[in-house]
């Protein structure tokens, strides 16, 4: 199968060199049973590549089972993966197959694998090496034939260094690694993606043919896209839904991207992005801290809590806000912004849903 045919068949949109290289690798590994690790920010399309690899493999006639390890509470993840016997724990009223048995002879896609507890990682490694496991509460060994595709928006090498992820499991998973770059690092793909999402939305909703103007394309190309492909798709569909005519111009998208454009001006974020995503993240955090410091000084000034140093025009801040307070307020603001939609909030904060639920309990947020 040629690269172009593979992309069309599996809805992988993009003409950039990065996407072409990833498609070539996916085509090569699809026919084998080798484990694949997909790395990339949230919303870059990791599951799209996982599904494409499965559908192009010899296992395409069997199931692809997708599991979000970060969305399943830690206490029941092992049961969900490996199954359990009746009475093995409180609430286990009957026996149940786990995802490994359900995906037997097919493919198991483990998303957000960095969120998997270390104790569960041990059992996963055993399944990868032997194809065997035992259900919770059972002494019977179950054999399965499952291909593993794992994904993470975290750098697993860093997680290993921090002892949050097993070194042996990491090396077992990373036989082949696909790193999907964020949308801001392949801006040449934005126009074709926007056109694809618009046409797909029109067809699904039986709408007339829409058109995006050149000026609108320019806005889309210059946008930072923190939510990557997922955000682009939502913006295109929202703009089409709210538009009063079939031509989408810069005014159709400006209100949807206004927060970014204001922050880009205020923070002097680079519009032509040739830096790595890690460099950009560090720059955003650095500039955000500067703004927090400025805001803090202004608030202290209004409250009369800033004391001038003797013989100096400089001002000394009498109080430092603890990081826990900053984190709590950030999470609460994000929850209010999404109207307490936990999934959207986790995506917005670039954390797992399980981490979000833990923070909500930890800070007793209401």
What pLDDT digit, counting tens, does each position of 302-317 carry? 554 444 444 444 545 4
Say how far apart CA 352 and CA 346 lie, in whole Å: 6
- Provide the pLDDT for residue 275: 47
Please give the average per-residue pLDDT across 145-170, as a whole number. Answer: 95
Q: Is residue 282 predicted with pLDDT exceeding 70?
A: no
- Provide the pLDDT for residue 364: 85
Q: Report CA Rg, the chain.
A: 24
In DSSP terms, 142 is beta-bridged to 133
* H-helix segments, the chain: 3-9, 17-30, 46-55, 74-82, 99-102, 118-130, 156-161, 167-173, 190-204, 214-222, 228-242, 250-267, 277-303, 323-337, 342-349, 353-362
Distances in Å between the Cα of 319 and the Cα atoms of 185, 285, 292 are 39, 21, 13
When pLDDT is cut at 50, 70 and 90, the band that residue 201 belongs to is very high
pLDDT mean across residues, the chain: 85
In DSSP terms, 66 is beta-bridged to 109
Q: Report how far apart the first and last C-alpha atoms of the chain are (Å, whole number).
A: 53
Distances in Å between the Cα of 358 and the Cα atoms of 10, 113, 233, 352 are 36, 17, 29, 10
Name the least confident of 17-21, 99-103, 306-310, 341-345: 306-310
Q: What class, spelled out in words, does domain 184-267 have in CATH?
A: mainly alpha
pLDDT in tens, 204-236: 999 999 999 999 999 999 999 999 999 999 999
pLDDT in tens, 326-335: 888 888 888 8
Say how far apart CA 37 and CA 113 lie, in whole Å: 10
Q: Greater confidence, 252 or 264? A: 252
- Provide the pLDDT for residue 307: 47
Domain limits, the chain: 3-181, 184-267, 275-320, 321-366
Give the CATH fold of the 3-181 domain: Rossmann fold (3.40.50)
Range of 90-99, 265-274, 286-295 with top mean pLDDT: 90-99
- Provide the pLDDT for residue 330: 87
CATH superfamily entry for domain 321-366: Homeodomain-like (1.10.10.60)
Q: Is residue 262 predicted with pLDDT exceeding 50?
A: no
And the tokens for 355? 């981490």
And the tokens for 160? 């290993």
Supply φ then ψ for residue 36, to 5 degrees. Answer: -125, 135
CA 295 to chain centre: 30
And the tokens for 118? 């270390």
SS3 content of the chain, % helix, strand, coil (to 5): 55, 10, 35
Q: Greater confidence, 347 or 100? A: 100
Classified as helix, coil or strand, 109 is: strand
Supply φ then ψ for residue 10, to 5 degrees. Answer: -115, 15
The DSSP call for residue 153 is: S
In DSSP terms, 111 is beta-bridged to 68
């Amino acid at each position: 199968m040629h690269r172009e045919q593979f992309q069309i068949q599996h809805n992988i949109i993009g003409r950039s060199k990065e996407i072409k290289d990833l498609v070539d690798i996916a085509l090569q590994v699809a026919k084998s049973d080798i484990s694949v690790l997909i790395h990339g920010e949230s919303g870059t399309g990791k599951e799209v590549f996982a599904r494409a690899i499965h559908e192009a493999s010899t296992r395409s006639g069997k199931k692809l089972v997708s599991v979000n390890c970060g969305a399943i509470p830690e206490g029941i993840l092992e049961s969900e993966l490996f199954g359990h016997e009746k009475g093995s724990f409180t609430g286990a009223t009957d026996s149940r197959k786990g995802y490994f048995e359900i995906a037997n002879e097919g493919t198991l896609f483990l998303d957000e694998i960095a969120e998997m507890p270390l104790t569960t990682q041990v059992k996963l490694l055993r399944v990868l090496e032997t194809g065997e496991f035992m259900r919770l509460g059972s002494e019977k060994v179950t054999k399965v034939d499952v291909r593993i595709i794992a994904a993470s928006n975290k750098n697993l090498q860093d997680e290993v260094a921090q002892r949050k992820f097993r070194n042996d499991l990491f090396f077992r998973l990373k036989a082949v690694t696909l790193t999907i770059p964020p949308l801001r690092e392949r801006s040449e793909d934005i126009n074709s993606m926007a056109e694809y999402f618009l046409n797909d939305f029109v067809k699904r909703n039986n709408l007339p043919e829409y058109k995006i103007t050149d000026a609108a394309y320019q806005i889309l190309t210059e946008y930072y896209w923190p939510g990557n492909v997922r955000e682009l798709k939502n913006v295109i569909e929202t703009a089409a839904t709210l538009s009063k005519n079939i031509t989408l111009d810069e005014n159709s998208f400006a209100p949807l991207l206004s927060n970014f454009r204001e922050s880009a001006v205020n923070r002097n974020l680079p519009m032509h992005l040739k830096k790595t995503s890690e460099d950009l993240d560090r720059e955003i955090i650095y500039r955000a801290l500067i703004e927090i410091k400025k805001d803090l000084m202004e608030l202290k000034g209004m409250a009369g809590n800033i004391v001038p140093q003797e013989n100096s025009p400089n001002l000394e801040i009498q109080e430092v806000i603890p990081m826990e307070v900053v984190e709590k307020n950030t999470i609460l603001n994000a929850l209010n912004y999404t109207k307490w939609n936990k999934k959207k909030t986790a995506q917005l904060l670039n954390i797992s849903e399980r981490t979000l639920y833990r923070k909500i309990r930890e800070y007793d947020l209401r």
